[in-house]
């Protein structure tokens, strides 16, 4: 609900449990007043602006206007006229001078969503959300700035974006257009970000913020493995279940800035949006610029409630609707087993073994195109290497389909190798700076797909391949960051557009792919999890979480990812041991249990597995198929974190009607002479009775002196009251050995 209170010149945005309040000072300056638990009455709230304190408002005290500008809690801040804090909007006039000053003009409320053209966005309809279009303007520059706020009727979310229009008679250049700002007011603050690197993506990091700033950012051309486009401000001491949380998540896949800053008088400002570094957008009269969307969430019940709100938003209003209820295929990928050393017969062998194990899909990874026997050649040559695939792609796919399996394919459309037919024909198609030889990474360069002829040349090849056979799944990879971002085909004034135009070109290509192949399952990947962001989820319902497939490393990676993104979006596979990234040896059962938290599949040579382990695959696949509908649609609860306690990890997913739940417990480090661990469940019906069963590895049972029937042992622990399970908990036994996993099924009973 969106309410305008005329006598206070106040805007009140209401979700089921929260209020977001802003108002006008002196009838023109738009300021932020409040974001927190839902308010019944906003009478007198405008006094929070402190306009009766020095320096007062400019209307009263023009001689100290700059003091006002540097302290007023602007709703959408601007640079160059007195506000020295991190700002959202910057612009340069035709004389090269920088300065913006926005004042209020009008507002309107629209039923449904305003869709940002060419950008991924939360989806909405007239019945499920309303949008406030709040028009601000700078008459000197001739800019109209539309602040857009979408309020969902069933979610505690505010979705922000900005559209800037040049209604003046001359050009100007936008030097920054961030998507949104948040002015939080905790008594003491921590900032939570998701930092990392390749193989250690999205590690939860918390820092106390007293003065100065904390930021997460990327200048790599993608959202990056090093930082995620997300930031949260927490009241100090916040846990999964207690404390105030203000979250900001950007629906974008390129350079970004997320920053929290406390100024000299103790006010906290957070901003998020496209990174202003290397960004310059010329805006001719009549032209407009649209920012990506930012999703804001407030929780007064700790991080867990914030997480579940983001999960519901992204499942129900971002990811394509059909994937909410459609099962994902269990797949086997040949990469870690064969690298690029394979042929048709090898892949047919994979398919036969996959069919025997109950797997749904075979995915052929890198090495099927051009003459690519290693990573030094052929990117850009998207045609089948018939020396490897004798008889062509269609023959292979038809044989795999005839066995009852689907077929998937790896591609990397954004890149080119010097040793390729594409590069030899079009050496100018890669990004390059005048007079410099571009730097190679992994023997590859980035194609300038912002140019129509390059975009068309790449996409036509990909489309031809996918049209030639029955391809059900595409893994879209992007294995290097952007450098040398320059275009010899564009005017100097347009070079500052390239990084954003590149992201728009990727979006357009994936949108066209899904339009041409509407039944395709697309999984994004970027050298692991370097482009795991909400922008990509608009096109692909799942993203490869990390190239680090070690199950113990994945505990932290998947914990950080699931803080914001639904567990059903996390690409996760069972891989070989010793693990190729860490050398760690983890039991097959535990590797499977951890991968079941995501999309699930196998990244190993299933033709030549240990017979005991291979015999477990059908049971693991069946177990995943039981768990997946709950993971896909249910509520996620983080019970314990190995990253924090250094001993064990535990999470739980509960069906929306609270009739069924699955809890996974991983004992990472065994300890002698310790009692069992008390684990308190979450999300259950406190008045219902539940039967609890535990499923664990038979080998684990044998080590504990218990009888084992088959590779898995399931034991009923009895019936419990839901309230008891959440308050008193259950005792998880200490078992012998590191890296042991148990899966608990919690089922509501009749009566």
In a domain, 370, yes or no: yes
In a domain, 596, yes or no: no
In a domain, 378, yes or no: yes
Same domain, 163 and 18: yes
What is the CATH classification number for the domain harbouring 704? 2.60.40.1180
User: What pLDDT shows up at residue 707?
Assistant: 43
Same domain, 329 and 313: no
- Catalytic-role residue among 144, 477, 550, 695: 477
Burial of 740 (0-12, 13-18, 19+ CB in 10 A): buried
Domain stops at, among 544, 570, 587:
544
For the cut 50, the answer to whether the pLDDT of residue 702 exceeds it is no
DSSP string, 659-721: SEEEEEEEE-S--TT-PPEEE---S--TTSEEEEEEEEEHHHHHHTT----SSEEEEEEEEEE
User: Residue 553: in which H helix or E strand, if any?
Assistant: helix 551-562
The model's pLDDT over 66-88, given as tens digits with 9 standing for 90+, comes to 999 999 999 999 999 999 999 99
Q: How many CB atoms lie within 10 A of CB 608?
A: 10
Q: Is the CB of residue 548 less than 8 Å from the CB of residue 577?
A: no
Same domain, 242 and 351: no
Tokens of 671: 């300890």
Same domain, 326 and 314: no
Q: Is the dihedral of CA 665, 670, 676, 678 positive or negative?
A: negative
Domain stops at, among 483, 517, 544:
544
Same domain, 126 and 225: yes
Is the model's pTM score more than 0.85? Answer: yes
User: What pLDDT shows up at residue 750?
Assistant: 81
What is the CATH classification number for the domain harbouring 506? 3.20.20.70
Catalytic status, residue 477:
yes
Q: How far apart are CA 593 and CA 584, in angstroms?
A: 16
Model confidence at 706, pLDDT cuts 50, 70, 90, reads low
Peptide bond into 289 cis (omega under 30): no
What mean pLDDT is reported for the chain?
Answer: 94
In a domain, 51, yes or no: yes
Q: Is the CB of residue 739 less than 8 Å from the CB of residue 668?
A: yes
Same domain, 47 and 147: yes
What secondary structure, in 3-state letters, does 714-746 show? EEEEEEEEHHHHHHCCEEECCCCCCCEEEEEEE
Q: How many CB atoms lie within 10 A of CB 406?
A: 19
For the cut 90, the answer to whether the pLDDT of residue 549 exceeds it is yes
| Residues paired with 77 in a beta bridge | none
Domain stops at, among 299, 318, 337:
318
- Catalytic-role residue among 547, 548, 635, 649: 547
Cα-Cα-Cα-Cα torsion 567, 568, 571, 575, nearest 10 degrees, comes to 80
User: What pLDDT shows up at residue 75?
Assistant: 97
The model's pLDDT over 658-700, given as tens digits with 9 standing for 90+, comes to 999 999 999 999 999 889 999 999 999 999 999 999 987 654 5
User: What pLDDT shows up at residue 55?
Assistant: 84
Alpha-carbon distances of 108 from 74, 111, 133, 445, 470, rounded to whole Å? 20, 10, 5, 47, 48
CA-wise closest residue to 742 among 669, 649, 655 = 649
For the cut 70, the answer to whether the pLDDT of residue 709 exceeds it is no
Cα-Cα-Cα-Cα torsion 692, 698, 703, 707, nearest 10 degrees, comes to 80
**Number of domains into which the chain is organized:** 3
What is the CATH classification number for the domain harbouring 117? 2.70.98.60
For the cut 60, the answer to whether the pLDDT of residue 303 exceeds it is yes
Q: How far apart are CA 296 and CA 156, in angstroms?
A: 9
Mean of pLDDT values over 437-459 = 96
Q: How far apart are CA 517 and CA 287, in angstroms?
A: 33
Burial of 750 (0-12, 13-18, 19+ CB in 10 A): exposed
Q: Is the CB of residue 219 less than 8 Å from the CB of residue 230?
A: no
What is the share, in percent, of the chain residues with pLDDT greater than 70? 98
Alpha-carbon distances of 616 from 348, 612, 650, 667, rounded to whole Å? 22, 7, 23, 21
Which domain range does residue 154 map to? 2-318
Strand 473-476 to strand 445-446: parallel, antiparallel, or no bridges (unpaired)?
Answer: unpaired
Same domain, 642 and 702: yes
In a domain, 382, yes or no: yes
User: What pLDDT shows up at residue 293?
Assistant: 98
Same domain, 313 and 329: no
In a domain, 539, yes or no: yes
Tokens of 680: 């308190």
Same domain, 136 and 149: yes
Q: How far apart are CA 231 and CA 253, in angstroms?
A: 15
User: What pLDDT shows up at residue 712?
Assistant: 59
Q: Is the CB of residue 101 less than 8 Å from the CB of residue 69?
A: no
Same domain, 310 and 356: no
Same domain, 658 and 535: no
In a domain, 109, yes or no: yes
Catalytic status, residue 456:
no
In a domain, 624, yes or no: no
Alpha-carbon distances of 476 from 10, 317, 542, 717, rounded to whole Å? 46, 23, 11, 44
Same domain, 284 and 331: no
3-state SS assignment for residue 350 = helix
Mean of pLDDT values over 144-173 = 96
Model confidence at 46, pLDDT cuts 50, 70, 90, reads confident
- Number of residues assigned to the chain: 751
Residues 6+ apart with CB under 8 A from 535: 119, 120, 223, 250, 251, 252, 253, 292, 503, 507
User: What pLDDT shows up at residue 56?
Assistant: 81
Model confidence at 540, pLDDT cuts 50, 70, 90, reads very high
Q: How far apart are CA 516 and CA 340, in angstroms?
A: 29
Q: How far apart are CA 250 and CA 531, in angstroms?
A: 12
Mean of pLDDT values over 125-141 = 95
Mean of pLDDT values over 348-369 = 97
């Amino acid at each position: 609900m969106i309410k305008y209170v005329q006598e206070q010149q106040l805007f009140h945005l209401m979700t089921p449990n929260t209020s977001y309040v802003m108002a006008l000072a002196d009838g023109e300056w738009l300021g932020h007043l409040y974001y927190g638990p839902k308010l019944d009455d906003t009478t007198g709230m405008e006094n929070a602006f402190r306009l009766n304190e020095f320096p007062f408002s400019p209307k009263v005290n023009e001689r100290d206007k700059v003091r006002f500008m540097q302290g007023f809690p602007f709703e959408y801040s601007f640079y160059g006229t007195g506000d020295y804090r991190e700002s959202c909007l910057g612009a340069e006039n035709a004389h090269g001078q920088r300065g913006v000053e926005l004042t209020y003009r009008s507002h309107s409320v629209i039923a449904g969503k305003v869709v940002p053209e060419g950008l991924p966005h939360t989806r909405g309809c007239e019945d499920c959300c309303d949008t406030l279009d709040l028009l601000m303007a700078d008459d000197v520059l001739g800019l109209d700035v539309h602040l857009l706020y979408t309020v969902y009727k069933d979610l505690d979310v505010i979705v922000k974006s900005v559209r800037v229009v040049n209604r003046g008679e001359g050009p100007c250049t936008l030097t920054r257009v961030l998507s949104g700002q948040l002015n939080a007011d905790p008594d003491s603050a921590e900032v939570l970000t998701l930092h990392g690197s390749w193989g250690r993506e999205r590690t939860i990091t918390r820092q106390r913020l007293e003065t100065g700033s904390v930021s997460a950012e990327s200048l790599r051309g993608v959202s990056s493995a090093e930082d995620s486009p997300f930031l949260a401000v927490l009241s100090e001491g916040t846990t999964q279940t207690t404390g105030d949380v203000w979250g900001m998540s950007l629906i974008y896949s390129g350079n970004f800035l997320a920053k929290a800053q406390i100024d000299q008088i103790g006010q906290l400002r957070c901003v998020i949006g496209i990174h202003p570094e290397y960004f310059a957008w010329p805006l001719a009269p009549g032209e407009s610029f649209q920012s990506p969307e930012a999703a804001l969430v407030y929780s007064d019940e700790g991080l867990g409630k914030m997480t579940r709100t983001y999960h519901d938003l992204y499942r129900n209003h971002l990811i394509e609707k059909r994937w909410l209820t459609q099962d994902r295929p269990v797949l086997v990928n040949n990469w870690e087993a064969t690298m690029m050393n394979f042929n048709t017969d090898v892949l047919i062998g994979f398919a036969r073994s996959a069919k025997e194990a109950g797997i749904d899909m075979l995915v052929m990874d890198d090495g099927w195109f051009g003459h690519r026997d290693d990573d030094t050649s052929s990117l850009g040559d998207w045609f089948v290497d018939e020396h490897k695939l004798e008889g062509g792609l269609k023959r292979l796919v038809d044989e795999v389909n005839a066995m009852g399996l689907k077929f998937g394919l790896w591609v990397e459309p954004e890149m080119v190798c010097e040793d390729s037919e594409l590069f030899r024909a079009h050496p100018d198609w890669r990004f390059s700076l005048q007079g410099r030889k571009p730097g190679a990474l992994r023997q590859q360069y980035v194609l300038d797909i912002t140019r129509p002829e390059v975009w068309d040349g790449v996409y036509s090849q990909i489309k031809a391949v996918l049209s030639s056979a029955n391809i059900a799944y595409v893994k879209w990879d992007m294995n290097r960051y952007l450098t040398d971002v320059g275009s010899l085909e564009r005017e100097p004034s347009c070079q500052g557009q390239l990084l954003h135009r590149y992201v728009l070109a990727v979006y357009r290509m994936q949108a066209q792919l899904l339009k041409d192949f509407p039944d395709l399952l697309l999984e994004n990947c970027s050298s692991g999890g370097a482009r795991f962001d909400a922008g990509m989820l608009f096109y692909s319902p799942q993203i490869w979480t990390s190239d680090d497939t070690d199950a113990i490393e994945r505990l932290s990676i998947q914990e950080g990812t699931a803080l914001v993104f639904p567990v059903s979006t996390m690409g996760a596979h069972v891989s070989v041991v010793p693990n190729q990234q860490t050398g760690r040896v983890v039991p097959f059962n535990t590797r499977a249990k951890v991968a079941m938290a995501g999309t699930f599949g196998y990244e190993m040579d299933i033709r030549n597995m240990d017979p005991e382990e291979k015999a477990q695959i059908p049971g693991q696949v069946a177990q995943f198929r039981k768990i997946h509908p709950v993971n896909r649609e249910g509520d996620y609860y983080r019970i314990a974190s190995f990253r924090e306690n250094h001993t064990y990890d535990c999470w739980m997913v509960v069906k929306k009607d609270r009739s069924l739940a699955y809890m996974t417990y991983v004992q990472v480090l065994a300890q002698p002479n310790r009692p069992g661990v008390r684990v308190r469940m979450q999300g259950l019906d406190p008045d219902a009775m539940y039967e609890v069963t535990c499923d664990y590895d038979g080998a684990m049972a044998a080590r504990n002196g218990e009888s084992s029937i088959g590779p898995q042992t399931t034991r009923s622990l009895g019936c419990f009251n839901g309230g008891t399970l959440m308050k008193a908990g259950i005792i998880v036994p200490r078992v012998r050995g590191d890296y042991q996993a148990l899966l608990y099924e919690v089922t509501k009973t009749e009566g």
